[in-house]
């Protein structure tokens, strides 16, 4: 049930040709601004514009011939949706994605482009879990969870494996790594890789205010949910609470959680625009925002890795964030 570092190495083999190795970027300007030596893992440059293809690819290449015929079902606000749709195209299997009707247009288009069917639902009136469960039953399809699944976690963990390999190639070591956290598939998967091959690295989650379930859960060593009804621009990571498997892995492997405001997220998007020439979506910019505006004192002067976990943002929202 709980994946191991070996599962991460196996996932890395399985997703070759589906996901890409993304660059690890450094910028002297960002070093100056953050007060640390910052290395940013640019998963916004990943296939489908986020790390989610890693987990989806790792899950879908393991489908049986029979399962590839009946296909897969997933629900997601967009990045996991695109990962599943692209992975399904790779293994030539039908996919139905349940998405909220207010999902970013760029994410809906991305799913459609890869040939998946989309079922839109009303976020306030309908349950996506129920819709997906019905589809699974009707079609005999396989549900692909977005984070609470050992294969998804192991797939996302390949991000950490690459970061360690890239740091070594630069003859450097991360003293700290900050990971954007929603359900926690990315961070927990990465922590398996770090524990095995760069065990001295201290890991931190990053989240928007009002959705600090990870920070509170890690702090209290127990799984805590967000109060309902809180809002943030970080659509990609607004999960109700940490995933069960991710939290089980992360609770002993993460030092804690950092929290940033939506305003700080916008500033981080502006910094990525001006100094990295990269497009980040709000949820993909929280770790950068934490490094720039909420860095704990003990990290100053150290070597810090961060994830830039996605770049799927609509032009109007991006323009609004740039000029905010």
Footprint on this chain of a copy of itself (rule: CB under 8 A): 23, 25, 29, 44-45, 49, 106, 113, 270, 273-274, 276-280, 311, 315-316, 318-319, 322-323
Q: Which is nearer to a copy of itself, 138 or 324 (CB)?
A: 324
Q: Which is nearer to a copy of itself, 259 or 317 (CB)?
A: 317
Residues 6+ apart with CB under 8 A from 116: 81, 84, 85, 88, 89, 94, 95, 96, 97
What is the nearest approach in angstroms of a copy of itself to the Cβ of residue 21?
A: 10
* Three-state secondary structure call for residue 240: coil
What is the nearest approach in angstroms of a copy of itself to the Cβ of residue 80?
A: 17
Q: Which is nearer to a copy of itself, 167 or 299 (CB)?
A: 167
What is the nearest approach in angstroms of a copy of itself to the Cβ of residue 236?
A: 13
Q: Which is nearer to a copy of itself, 33 or 119 (CB)?
A: 33
What is the nearest approach in angstroms of a copy of itself to the Cβ of residue 1?
A: 34
Cα-based torsion angle of the residue sequence 305, 104, 96, 248 in order, rounded to the nearest 10 degrees: 30
Burial of 32 from C-beta contacts in 10 A (0-12 / 13-18 / 19+): exposed
Q: Give the other-Cβ count within 10 Å of 93's Cβ.
A: 19
Q: Which is nearer to a copy of itself, 127 or 316 (CB)?
A: 316
What is the nearest approach in angstroms of a copy of itself to the Cβ of residue 72?
A: 20
Q: Do the bridges between strand 37-42 and strand 24-25 make them parallel or antiparallel, or are there none, so unpaired?
A: antiparallel
Q: Which is nearer to a copy of itself, 246 or 311 (CB)?
A: 311
What is the nearest approach in angstroms of a copy of itself to the Cβ of residue 278?
A: 6
Residues 6+ apart with CB under 8 A from 235: 77, 78, 103, 104, 281, 282, 283
What is the nearest approach in angstroms of a copy of itself to the Cβ of residue 140?
A: 30
Q: Do the bridges between strand 72-75 and strand 37-42 make them parallel or antiparallel, or are there none, so unpaired?
A: unpaired
Q: Cα–Cα distance between 190 and 192 in angstroms, integer?
A: 5
Q: Which is nearer to a copy of itself, 103 or 299 (CB)?
A: 103
As a whole number of Å, the CA-based R_g of the chain is: 18
Half-sphere exposure (Cβ direction) of 94: Cα atoms closer than 13 Å? 12
Q: Helix axis angle, 262-271 relative to 315-322, nearest 10°?
A: 90
User: In Å, how far from its chain's centre is CA 62?
Assistant: 21
* Three-state secondary structure call for residue 120: strand
What is the nearest approach in angstroms of a copy of itself to the Cβ of residue 301?
A: 21
What is the nearest approach in angstroms of a copy of itself to the Cβ of residue 70?
A: 26
Q: Which is nearer to a copy of itself, 73 or 276 (CB)?
A: 276
Q: Give the other-Cβ count within 10 Å of 277's Cβ.
A: 9
- Phi and psi torsions of 84, nearest 5°: -65, -40
Q: Which is nearer to a copy of itself, 25 or 141 (CB)?
A: 25
């Amino acid at each position: 049930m709980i994946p191991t570092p070996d599962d991460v190495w196996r996932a890395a083999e399985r997703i070759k040709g589906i996901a890409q190795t993304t660059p690890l970027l450094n910028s002297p300007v960002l070093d100056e601004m953050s007060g640390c030596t910052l290395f940013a893992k640019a998963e916004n440059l990943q296939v489908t514009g986020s790390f989610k293809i890693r987990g989806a690819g790792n899950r879908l290449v393991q489908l049986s011939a029979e399962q590839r015929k009946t296909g897969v079902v997933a629900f997601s606000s967009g990045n996991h949706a695109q990962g599943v749709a692209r992975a399904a195209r790779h293994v030539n299997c039908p996919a139905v994605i349940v998405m909220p009707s207010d999902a970013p247009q760029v994410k809906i288009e991305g799913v459609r482009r890869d040939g998946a069917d989309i079922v839109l639902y009303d976020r306030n009136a309908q349950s996506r879990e129920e819709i997906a469960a019905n589809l699974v039953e009707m079609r005999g399809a396989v549900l692909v969870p977005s984070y609470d699944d050992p294969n998804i976690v192991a797939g996302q963990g390949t991000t950490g494996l690459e970061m360690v390999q890239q740091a070594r190639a630069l003859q450097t070591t991360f003293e700290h790594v900050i990971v954007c956290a929603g359900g926690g598939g990315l961070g927990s998967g990465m922590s398996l890789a770090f524990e095995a091959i760069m065990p001295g690295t201290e890991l931190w989650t990053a989240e928007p205010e009002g959705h600090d379930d990870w920070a509170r859960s890690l702090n209290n060593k127990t799984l805590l949910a967000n109060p309902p009804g809180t809002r943030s621009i970080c659509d990609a990571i607004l999960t109700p609470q940490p995933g069960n498997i991710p939290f089980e892995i992360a609770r002993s492997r993460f030092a804690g959680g950092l929290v940033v405001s939506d305003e700080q997220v916008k500033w981080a998007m502006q910094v990525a625009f001006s100094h990295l020439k990269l497009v980040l979506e709000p949820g993909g910019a929280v770790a950068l925002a934490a490094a720039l505006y909420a860095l704990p004192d003990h990290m100053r002067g150290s070597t810090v890795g961060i994830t830039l976990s996605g770049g799927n943002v609509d032009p109007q929202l991006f323009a609004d964030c740039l000029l905010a």
